[in-house]
Amino acid sequence: MNSEYEKKFNDAMNACMQDLKAAEKGTAFFTISEENWKALVRVLRSQATLIDTIRFTIKDVATSEVLKWYLEQTMSIHTGNETAWKDELKTQAKSWNEEWRTRAMTYQEELTKQVGKQNEKFASDMEKVKQELQNQMQEKTERLYHRLLFPCLLTTLLASVLTLLQIL
C-alpha cells in the first residue's frame, strides 16, 4: 500500500480512537441514558474495528509494481516459451488486481452505507431527545408560572384588602 495512503489511514484511525476515548469520558449536555450512550460508543467502536479490518485486507492487495516485479522474476526463471508465460502471468496479474480492487470497493461501500445509516439514526434520535426535552421544559415552565402566579395574586389581593381596611 502506498505510504501516503497508509499515513492518511493511520491518521484517520488515530483521530477516530481519540474521539471514541473522548466520547467515553465526556459529559453529554442532553439527558441521554447511560445505556444509549454506551450503545452509541459500541457502534462507533465496531465501525472503527471494521475500518481497521479493511485496512489490513487492503494491505494484502497486490499493487501493480509488485505484480510487475513478480512477472520479471518469473520471466527470468523461465527461458523457454516466454511469450506464453508472459501472457499467462499478465492475465493472472490483471485478474488478481481486479479481484482485490472489487473486494476493497465492496468493503468501502458497505462501510459507507453503515456509517450513513448510523448517522441518520443518531440524528433522528437526537432530534427526538431534543423535542422531548423542549416539551418537558415548556411543561415545567408553565407549572412554575402557575405556581408563582397564584401566590402573587393572593398577596396582591390581601394587600388590597388591608389597604381598604386601613382606609375605612
pTM listed for this prediction: 0.34
Q: Tell whether 95 is covered by a domain.
A: yes
Q: Tell whether 147 is covered by a domain.
A: no
Q: What's the pLDDT score for residue 21?
A: 80
Q: What's the pLDDT score for residue 131?
A: 92
Q: Tell whether 103 is covered by a domain.
A: yes
Q: Tell whether 153 is covered by a domain.
A: no
Query: For the segment 90-125, what is each residue's pLDDT rounded down to a tens digit?
Result: 888 888 888 888 888 888 888 888 888 888 888 888
Cβ–Cβ < 8 Å for 31, 125: no
Q: Tell whether 165 is covered by a domain.
A: no
Half-sphere exposure of 11 (CA within 13 A, CB side): 6
Categorize the per-residue pLDDT at 78 as very low, low, confident or very high, splitting at 50, 70 and 90.
low
Query: For the segment 18-29, what is each residue's pLDDT rounded down to a tens digit?
Result: 877 877 776 656
Mean pLDDT is lowest, of 5-9, 110-114, 123-127, 161-165, for: 5-9
Q: Tell whether 123 is covered by a domain.
A: yes
DSSP one-letter string for the chain:
--HHHHHHHHHHHHHHHHHHHHHHH---SS---HHHHHHHHHHHHHHHHHHHHHHHHHHTSPPHHHHHHHHHHHHHH--SSHHHHHHHHHHHHHHHHHHHHHHHHHHHHHHHHHHHHHHHHHHHHHHHHHHHHHHHHHHHHHHHHHHHHHHHHHHHHHHHHHHHHHH-
Cβ–Cβ < 8 Å for 58, 111: no
Query: Among residues of the chain, what percentage have pLDDT more than 70?
Result: 80
**Average of per-residue pLDDT values in the chain:** 78
List Cα–Cα distances, 58 to 13, 109, 120, in angstroms: 15, 14, 28
Q: Tell whether 88 is covered by a domain.
A: yes
Between residues 73 and 139, which one has the greater pLDDT?
139
| Total tally of structural domains belonging to the chain | 1
Q: What's the pLDDT score for residue 118?
A: 87
Domain residues for the domain of 113 are 3-135
Q: Tell whether 12 is covered by a domain.
A: yes
Categorize the per-residue pLDDT at 61 as very low, low, confident or very high, splitting at 50, 70 and 90.
low
Distance between CA atoms of residues 126 and 120, nearest Å: 10
Mean pLDDT of 29-51: 76
